[in-house]
Structure 1
Amino acid sequence: MASTIPDTEHPEMSGLQVYLRLLSYLKNYWGIFLLSILGLVLFSAMEVAFIDLFGYTVNAINAISGESAALPGQMTDMGEGSTSWLAGLLGGDDALAESRWIIPVIMFMIAITRGIGFFVGGYCMTYVTQILVHNLRTHLFNKYTSLPSRFFDTNMSGHLISRITFHVAQVTHAATNSLKVIIREGALVIGLISYLFYLNWRLAAIFVIVLPLIGAVVGYVSNRFRLLSRRIQSSVGNVTHVTQEAVSGYREMHLFGGVEYERDRMHNASNYNRRQQMKMAVAEGISTPVIQLLVAMALSLLMWLALDPNVLANMSGGEFVQFLGSAALLAKPIRQLSEVNSNVQKGIAAAGTIFSTLDEPNEPDLGTVEKARVEGHFQFKNISFAYSEEAGNVLNGIDLEVKPGEVIALVGQSGSGKTTLVNLIPRFYNHREGAILLDGLDIRDYTLDNLRSHIALVSQNVTLFNDTIYNNIAYGSLGKNPPSAVREAAGAAHALEFIDRLPDGFDTQIGDEGIMLSGGQRQRLAIARALLKNAPVLILDEATSALDTESEHHIQKALEQVMKGRTTFVIAHRLSTIENADRIMVMDKGQIIEQGTHSELLAMNGRYAQLHQKQFNDEPHLAI
């Protein structure tokens, strides 16, 4: 199992920088993004306008009452000195006396404008954030396809899948509803406080005292949210990984009594996630009431001061209603902003982890050489390799020359370095010391795509996709081949024997990893895929390991035909399959200790002869 690499934020980016980098994905959609902001701000502005209308209405009613009670010529103009912007716009609070339809019409217009702002802001924000999430998800997936093998060796697959599913979902929450709330309620808070200062700056100054305290609480809680979010994201990766392993290995789980063990693994992973979620709930449950308490303290002090007769003496009834209504409305948007903070911090933590992956160095590819076809002449010069700086060398001083069209067999005990050596050819790993030449050029001088286009691989662990048989043979760039070539390759791999018996033939869906097929059938499809590629270099890593003796005999003949004229590296434990190789290399502890033909190595009576004798005694039916 690969070692666990915990989800961490980008080490060099603050939360604000992470969020701004997220928004940079919208650089081609700034017009729609600004339109969404305009819609949400318009929605909040209409909230303030409604309060102003309410105060205007109170003053207008007072004006009507004063007119009806006073003698002619003694009506007091309540509009003089009014702070209502509507009063100034309409010509005074007593305008209602002549035009009673004004307030209903304005109220209806405010409601219409408010609805338009809500729809435009919400729809446009959802549009741009879904674009953001789509771009982020595809960017991350594309990054996976560009990373070196070493990255996947040190990261659990469950965590990598979690980043493209759960982490992106967390970013979605931060970038959709949360961002809408931040803009809408933030604009409302700014608008209400500005309106309070407009009405009475002395009373409004109380909020200036409270805001730093609220900011300090939000800052502390934000750091706590981000820490817990990283733990939650890592725990979700563990849950995904345990589930993935249990599903893919369910046969082994039942055969070897691993049911309780896997259940314990899932219990521990899920329980850790539960504990972190509860810690997050505690932080959320405490932060919001604390912020609301601070706001309530400010409002209480405000009410106490506002009810002072000396203060009331300078305010009309409508102005007093406007001030108290605006102050009372502040509690709701501040509460929503404090509640949404947890989602924002979850999104920032998730985005930080995603960006740390996106900033991983790509698989190095400094090559410039591209050839239509290579001859397949290899020279390994003093090759040494280690999987990490701390680990010892897996390969030590390998010197080997392989001529075009030569078949080289690699044998030896598990862990001797056979597979590692052939993995250096397509540059799945880069050797530490020495040089590997292909047709006289260092393989690093070839572009990766061009180098790998000359190589076909059939490995012991067959990789098939949840698709049709046809698409698994004609995979990727091989899809440009005509159907006749695909059928010919399947026939050469002896796959037609079972394909033609299937109801849907080549259109048969084979399920995850080809689960609908037997092991031998899966391996024949992999061989057919390699045959279809028709590459000048062929790597067979236990290519016939999953075949029965009769199928192996047929496919061995097919492979002998396809190996003609191609440089072939064959890794085999069953020595009977490589007796006709041009040369056999016996490896041990990362070194070539013997080499020669089958008969030459038997005559040497060394390690190869011992291996052959042991297999001949254990499995005489395999000898040819």
Structure 2
Amino acid sequence: MTSNARSASASSQSLKTNLWKRIYSRVGTYWKGLAVAVLCMAGAAATQPTLAVAMKPLLDEGFSGAKPEYVWQVPIVIIGLIFLRGLCNFFSDYLLAWVANNVLLGVRRDMFEKLLTMPDSEFKKGDTGRLLNRFTVDAGNVTSYATEVITVIVRESLIVLAMIGVLLYMSWELTLIILVTMPISVLISRSFIARMRRINQDTVNMNAELTRAVSEGIDGQRVVKLFDGYAFERNRFSYVSGRLRRFDMRAATSDAAMTPITQVITAIAVAAVIAVALNQANTGTLTVGSFAAFMAALAQIFDPIKRLTKVAGKMQKMLVAAESVFTLVDQPSEPETGTGRFEGRALGRVEFRHVSHRFADAQTDTLSDVTISVEPGQTVALVGRSGSGKTTLVNMLPRFVSPSSGEVLIDGRNIASLDLRALREQLSLVSQDVVLFDDTIAVNVGYGALHDASEDEIMNALAAANLLDFVKALPLGLQTPVGENATRLSGGQRQRLAIARALIKNAPILILDEATSALDNESERQVQASLETLMKGRTTLVIAHRLSTVQNADKIVVMDHGKVVEQGSHSELIARGGAYSALYQMQFRED
């Protein structure tokens, strides 16, 4: 083995060990319930060999008539043992399910907490299918397999050990045959483990692709219908489903192959046992009852051994799922670089000083040496062609994006020195892509830390957003559900609801990211009127493509290729006849 192969093997082993520790450290949190479950499993396992041991006196003395009381004693004992086993199995299964569901609850809480604090850049990777799959499939697999592995290893191991004890008691010679063949079965099953792990990893990845394909089919169903994308979507879904089927079949083949191989080895062992037993019976060293008890114990030992060999596949599935889950849990959170806070409400002075930025996978800068200052209460519009860096610049204010060089300041304080929550308390956002939650109008308007806003405050915000009459006309008023993605509202209504939410927050700095670009003229006028109410007394940064909406801005900043090429009021820039004037004339002609 080469040094690289040895290093990779050591790394893989270290990863497995770490995953085992992390899984069972969580399971161990509920050690009391687990301990009682193990005791119940031990009780169930103890009943198994007792039934086999009862065969010897039953055959040697019961059927001969030497012990007539066995007629009623043995059936009662059997019923009692079966009842005890069922009771122990019920409580062990219940307690293990309780442990598994509590562990699952904790894992999903940690995953969701991480999801909320992950950097904005992680969500731009477009890995939604994988994220959803981790919550719905992988987390469940980790906990269900973790408790199943405990159940199989503890219960079946106890049964095997008890049965081996019975076998040794009945005949050590016959038991020796069994003990020689058992390791061979274990070694063969180990050869399947590496293959099962690779297949399970491929299955996890393909499950994420399936989730993504279905999710996009749901979200884009109108586009599919209008652009006749049926064949494309069917082919994509068929490809993913076919790959998933092949991976499942490979896993099933590997899993199923262990059974006949184990059965062949078992048949050889049983044949050898019968041959030796017949020889011992002929010499008078083995009675019929002893042989029957031995065979009864032997017949009961193979099922737990088979379950123990097959648990290897479940372990691999558990480890693959755990790796996926803990990859999310271990994702770095948003960098918390400062602890500073504002004394109350910020004034709203915003400065970008020599700011540059380049994305990790980009060849050129998105922003290059940008310097802009905004006084409290001013409205500054950022205009320019798509890709000129406007959104990237504005996203630096809430620290969704960090500058590669330069600094961003609010009231003279570098925002990197501020606590993230304290910083974002001073900011509000209304964007083109309004995000509303599948809840009531009241919940969406008073969303977040202000969820306890009074009904009067919500009504006043809706009135200021020119939406109160619409809400009052609804049968359920404020308690009207908006539907998934607010599908029950028009585009203009969604925008004004977002404006009402921003009004309730009452932050001193407002970001408007193309808030009216996707609306028709009538809706735009209504939303623009609501925005004017919202902008009063606030420092406002506006990203706009329609220059007609920013003519009254205090300052217009024209950007191109990540640089500021012009700054000034509308009249100043028109008079200058530069880049802004060219953009304005072009839009005027189009209109």
Alpha-carbon RMSD: 2.2
Task: Give CA-to-partner distance per residue, 1:485-533, whole Å, 9 cap, x none.
Answer: 1111111111224222322222221211011111111111111111111
1:583 matched to 2:548? The reply is no
What is the Cα deviation at residue 331 of structure 1? Answer: 1.8
Matched, 1:384 2:356: yes
- Is the Cα–Cα contact under 8 Å of residues 492 and 528 in structure 1 kept in the other structure? yes
1:465 corresponds, among 437, 451, 466, to: 437
Mean Cα deviation higher: 564-573 or 146-155: 146-155
1:172 to partner: Cα distance: 4.4
Which of the residues 220, 229, 235 maps onto 2:191?
A: 220
Task: Give the structure 1 partner of residue 565 of structure 2.
Answer: 593
> Does 1:498 pair with 2:470?
yes
Partner of 2:118: 147
What is the alpha-carbon distance in structure 1 between the residues aligned to residue 282 and residue 116 of structure 2?
A: 69
Shift of 1:368: 0.9
Cα distance in structure 2, aligned partners of 1:296 and 1:411: 81
| Contact preservation (8 Å) 2:280, 2:286 | no
Partners of 2:499 and 2:530 within 8 A in 1: no
Q: Is the 8 A contact 2:174 2:276 kept in 1?
A: yes
Q: How big is the shift at 1:534?
A: 0.5
Q: How does 1:101-116 map to 2 (within 5 A)?
A: 102-116=73-87
Aligned AA for 1:463?
V
TM-score (norm 1): 0.88
8 Å contact from structure 1 (residues 284, 339) kept in 2: yes
**Structure 2 gap segments, 5+ residues each:** 1-10
Alignment of 1:125-140 (within 5 A): 125-140=96-111
Which residue is equivalent to 2:497? 525
Per-residue Cα deviation, 1:252-303 (whole angstroms, up to 9, x for no partner): 2222222221121111111111111111111112122212222332222222
Aligned pair in 2 of structure 1 residues 123, 208: CA closer, same or farther (>3 Å)?
same
Superposed, 1:312-391 pairs within 5 Å as 313-371=284-342, 372-391=344-363
Residues 339 and 417, structure 2, Cα contact 8 Å, conserved in 1: yes
> CA, structure 1 residues 409+40, in 2 after alignment: closer, same or farther (shift >3 Å)?
same
Alignment equivalent of 2:89, drawn from 115, 118, 138:
118
Q: How far apart are residue 119 of structure 1 and its match?
A: 1.4
| Counterparts of residues 190-269 of structure 1 (less than 5 Å) | 190-269=161-240
Deviations 1:221-241 (A, max 9, x none): 222222111111111111111
Cα shift at 1:122 = 1.3
Checking the alignment, whether the CA contact within 8 Å between 2:129 and 2:208 is kept in structure 1 is: yes
CA contact (8 A) 2:358 2:364 kept: yes
2:289 and 2:522 mapped to 1: Cα distance? 97
Whether the aligned pair in 1 keeps the contact of 2:277 and 2:286 (CA below 8 Å) is no
Question: In the TM superposition, what is the alpha-carbon distance from 1:62 to its structure 2 partner?
Answer: 7.2
Q: Distance in 2 between matches of 1:427 and 1:13?
A: 36
Q: Which runs of 4+ in 1 moved over 6 A?
A: 97-100
Aligned to 2:27: 26
- Judged with a 3 Å threshold, the aligned counterparts in structure 2 of structure 1 residues 521 and 288 are, in CA distance, closer, same or farther, namely same
> Among 537, 540, 561, which residue is 1:565 paired with?
537
Measured after TM superposition, the shift of residue 217 of structure 1 is 2.3
Output the CA distance in 1 between the equivalents of 2:388 and 2:230.
Answer: 34
**In 2, Cα distance between the equivalents of 1:345 and 1:35?**
27
Pair member with larger Rg: 1
Change in 2 beyond 3 A, CA 1:391/1:204? farther
Q: Give the residue type in structure 2 aligned to 1:318.
A: G
Q: How far apart are the structure 2 equivalents of 1:375 and 1:292?
A: 79
Alignment CA distance shift 1:566-1:63 (3 Å): same
2:388 alignment counterpart: 416
State the match for 1:482 in structure 2.
454
Secondary structure class of the residue paired with 2:167: helix
CA drift at 1:348 = 2.1
Structure-2 residue corresponding to 1:71: none
Aligned partner of 2:52 in structure 1 is: 51
Moved more, 146-155 or 197-206: 197-206
1:373 offset after TM fit, Å?
Answer: 2.0
**Matched position secondary structure for 1:26:** helix
Q: 2:255 aligns with which of 284, 291, 294?
A: 284
2:267 is aligned to 296
1:433 aligned residue: 405
The CA distance in 2 between the partners of 1:339 and 1:592, in whole Å, is: 65
CA 1:307–1:18 in structure 2 vs 1: closer, same or farther (change >3 Å)?
Answer: farther
Question: Per-residue displacement from partner, 1:133-174 (whole Å, max 9, x unpaired)?
Answer: 222222212221121112222251111111100212323441
In the TM superposition, residue 321 of structure 1 has moved relative to its aligned partner by 2.1
Q: Which runs of 5+ in 1 are unaligned?
A: 1-9, 66-95, 620-624
Change (3 A) 1:555 1:62: closer
Find the residue that maps to 2:368 and give its secondary structure.
Answer: strand
Deviation per CA, 1:192-230: give whole Å up to 9, x if none.
123323433333223333333222222222222221111
Which moved further from structure 2: 180-189 or 344-353?
180-189
Equivalent residue pairs, number: 580
